[in-house]
Structure 1
Amino acid sequence: MRKKVKVTPNREFSDRKPLNNSDMFHSASRSEYSISSPQSAMATAATSLIVLREDGRKDLRFEDLLRAPAELIRKGSFASLYKVVMDGGRPELVVKRIKDSTVTGEEFQKKIRRLDQTRHPNVLPVTAFYCSKQEKLVVYEYQKNGSLFKLLHENRDNVAMNWTTRMNVAASVSAGLSYMHQTLLTNNSAGAAAAAGHGNLKASNILFSSAMEPLISEYGLKALPTNYCQMDSTAVDDEPFSTAADVYALGIIFLELLTGKPSHGFDLAQWVQSVVREEWTVEVFDRSLLAGDEDEMAEQAMVRLLQVALRCISQESCRLTMAEAAAMVDAVNEKIPLFKKKLNGKLFENRGYSI
């Protein structure tokens, strides 16, 4: 019988379906992009599409995207996401069509170029982009291994999501976000330089490369998530795209990794906190992890990652920074005593958590 472990806290891709003719880029209405003058757009498209990653994509043209068969992956109030099958055996692409008309073309282009200059191995780079008065498109390489949401919640028999894999996701994603928060700067409402957050961090926006390395996608394409359980409730009304909101969303991802439960349509944070208050911490963990071959050290790591997650979803005044969260996850991953990890010369302290 498993013993109680006390943790005391401080006070999506949907199934892809073929599009019908009205949803294809090359549909009877010309395209989902709704170019008002197809002939003039086609004439200037080749020079309008800006390719940032030229390895294998140097000849990519906007008209290629218009003519290629497309499959709707998901559609929201902010944007639609398509998988585009290129001809000639070229790798598939993902095209994000952004509907936000409040951002000017100049602002959009500056944002994408800043992202291109701030690269990390665990952040999916933009392949190309296009902007006009009618359209704003962002092009990525298609990742065939799918998203964290799909592997974790829609493919429960897949043994790839063992504890080692989940811990690698936690470490890689927190490292990528920490780097972006420290490197990618923008001007806040007061005109001062501030870190630019992801803005829509969730399991469906974490993809896997061909080598199964986690890749954070859609960084900086700020969209208010339809799933409010993924966000800090105070941030929804105040500053939904702050770095503190990213930390909260990261904490939710940690909880999904630990529990195996999705946060969509379910207040996962509240459920975990209620179970922890009853001192039945082990009950929150995914049974497939506890029933597997994971050793006692792995179970201790689960408890410690849970502590980090709870700190990420705590009130903003007590919340970790992304750099602190990344360092603490590294401490768990490296089996270093959790509260003796140094960051910038400072020693992390327990701050109210006990095992």
Structure 2
Amino acid sequence: MAIAWLFGRFLLFLSSTFFVLLPSAFSASDSEALLKLKKSLTNAGVLDSWVPGSPPCNGPQGPWRGLVCEGGVVTGLRLEGMGLSGTIDVDALVQMKGLGSFSVENNSFTDNILELNRLELVIVNNEKGVFGLTDLMKASAEVLGNGPLGSSYKVKMANGVEVTVKRVHQMNALGSDAFDAEVKKLRTLRHPNVLTPLAYHYRKEEKLFVYQYLRNSSLLYHLHGDGESGGVLDWPTRVKIVRGIVKGLVTRVSSQRICFTRRLEGLFCLQNPGAIQKQTVSPKSDVYCLGIIIIEMLTGERPSRSVYDGNGVTDIVQWVASAFSEGRRAELLDTKIEGCRNSICSMEKLLRVGALCTNTSLEERIGIKEAVRTIQEIHELRIL
């Protein structure tokens, strides 16, 4: 359902092409602000047309190099690939009333991204087109999910561009330096199956991440659909997903930080008893997450929903545990799984691993190595 969408005053995006909406108040002319900006730069000889006493937009030689002007007002700075370095003087940018875009790609500026947060709107990476604060404020947003860490929205602007915005609540305790360090880790990720942020916003009371919106691309969609389509994964495909997850655990890709989630489920896996009681995550939190996904893929039930086990309403972890203890394993398997007629035994073995991974007792829950070994011992999972 579409809802009115207001982001607030600030957004800060990652890269070196910025689109900015600045406040109306300013204390210097464009000329003075540009000269102040030039003074903060190193190797600024290429900006030799930026001289005092010459109108930036209407000089005898035309606009100063790198300027975009409309009606005698500087609306953009295009300084790509000029060999510039130094520290961008954000004060100068703030003083420019009409500035709408600022591009400094392929230069060597000091990384002062957080300082740029003083601008009312800073958008980077124009891969999805140019949009400003007013575009976002006028756009409608569809709630994609709510969880303990925050909410996710699909935002569609008037020009058709769609992005996913994640509002994070539980990171509000992070200071700007710690938050910046975490974002830097995210933006250096390079993998075809990892969606890195297009943008982020830092304020003490609010954190936003902006991602490219990928329609029908999540495991959530392929398992459960959207009410109209999707929701069908055959058995070999589900096996490949489990093998991929296990491979990540085997290679120890920073396993203490691994949490398997489909983003819009609100990090259900972090709601495991150990994490809730001790307010910390550990390798056994990773095991719990692995178990949740195994159970979800084999039962077809969403982790965040309650199920009826014959004795009352419970969650899927308790439902699976009870079914195994009472010998009712067959009723757990998703009847929509295709290509599984001769694989019931392997499916039950894998589901058993899911039950062991989600043991509510942290001490009795199996470890990563045992979980991986047990999965690898299931013959069919090795050959599919």
Same fold per TM (> 0.5)? yes
Alignment partners' CA distance in 2, 1:134 and 1:160: 41
Following superposition, the deviation at residue 280 of structure 1 comes to 3.4
* Corresponding residue for residue 168 of structure 2: 98
Amino acid at match of 1:18: A
**Structure 1 counterpart of 2:333, which letter?**
F
Identify if the C-alpha distance between structure 1 residues 34 and 75 changes in structure 2 by more than 3 Å, giving closer, same or farther: farther
State the partner residue of 1:160: 232
For residues 254 and 76 of structure 1, do their structure 2 counterparts lie closer, same or farther at Cα, with a shift above 3 Å needed? closer
**1:196 alignment partner AA:** R
Q: Is 1:302 matched with 2:372?
A: no
Is 2:295 the partner of 1:246?
no
**In the alignment, is the contact (CA less than 8 A) between 1:152 and 1:260 conserved in 2?**
yes
* CA distance in structure 2 between the aligned counterparts of 1:88 and 1:119, rounded to whole angstroms: 28
| Kept after mapping to 1: 8 A contact 2:290/2:357 | yes
Shift of 1:94: 0.3
Distance verdict in 2 for CA 1:335–1:178, change over 3 Å = closer
Alignment of 1:1-355 (within 5 A): 17-19=1-3, 23-24=4-5, 31-33=6-8, 40=23, 47-48=116-117, 49=122, 51=124, 54=125, 56-57=127-128, 65-76=136-147, 78-90=149-161, 92-100=162-170, 101-145=172-216, 147-153=218-224, 155=227, 158=230, 160-176=232-248, 182-183=253-254, 195-198=256-259, 201-202=260-261, 205=264, 231-264=271-304, 265=306, 266-289=314-337, 292-296=338-342, 298-314=343-359, 315-322=361-368, 325=371, 329=375, 332=378, 335-336=381-382
By percentage of residues, which structure has more strand?
Answer: 2
Tell me by how many angstroms 1:312 deviates: 1.4
Distance 2:212 2:175 in 1: 25
Gaps of 5+ in 1: 1-16, 25-30, 185-194, 207-222, 338-355
Distance 2:279 2:169 in 1: 21
RMSD (Å), alpha carbons:
3.9
Residues 99 and 277 of structure 1: is their aligned pair in 2 closer, same or farther, counting only changes over 3 Å? closer
- Normalising by structure 1, we get a TM-score of 0.62
Distance change >3 Å, CA 307–CA 130, structure 1 → 2: same
2:293 corresponds to which letter in structure 1? I
Distance in structure 1 (CA, Å) of the matches to 2:296 and 2:163:
28
Q: How many residues align?
A: 273
2: distance between equivalents of 1:288 and 1:157? Answer: 14
So what's the TM-score if we normalise by structure 2?
A: 0.58
Gaps of 5+ in 2: 11-20, 26-92, 95-99, 102-115, 307-313
Confirm or deny: 8 A CA contact 1:120 1:176 kept in the other structure. no
Structure 1 residue 57: Cα displacement: 4.5
The letter for the 1-side match of 2:2 is P
Partner SS, residue 127 of structure 2 = coil
Q: Does the 8 A contact of 1:95 with 1:138 survive in 2?
A: yes
CA distance in structure 1 between the aligned counterparts of 2:318 and 2:325, rounded to whole angstroms: 11
The structure with the larger Rg is 2
Alignment correspondent of 1:348 = none
Tell me the SS of whatever aligns to 1:336. helix
Change (3 A) 1:334 1:77: closer
Please give the secondary structure, in 1, of the residue aligned with 2:2: coil
Q: Any idea what the Cα deviations from partners look like across 1:131-177, whole Å, max 9, x if unmatched? A: 13453211111121054344434559746322223223323344456
User: Partner of 2:151: helix, strand, or coil?
Assistant: strand
Give yes or no for contact 1:149–1:204 (8 Å, CA) kept in 2: no
Q: Give the Å deviation of 1:240.
A: 4.3
Deviation at 1:120, TM superposition (A): 4.2
Q: Distance in 2 between matches of 1:129 and 1:316?
A: 35
The answer to whether the 8 A contact 1:69-1:86 is kept is: yes
CA distance in structure 2 between the partners assigned to 1:171 and 1:334 by the alignment: 11
Distance 1:127 1:178 in 2: 30
Distance 2:325 2:222 in 1: 30
Distance 2:247 2:130 in 1: 33
* 2:336 match: secondary structure: helix
Pick closer, same or farther for the CA change 1:60–1:175 going to 2, 3 Å. Answer: farther
Asked which structure has the greater RCO (Cα within 8 Å, sep 6+), the reply is: 1
Amino acid at match of 1:268: I
Contact 1:174 1:322 in 2 (8 A): no
CA contact 2:239–2:381 (8 Å) conserved in 1: no
8 Å CA contact 2:144–2:264 kept in 1: the answer is no
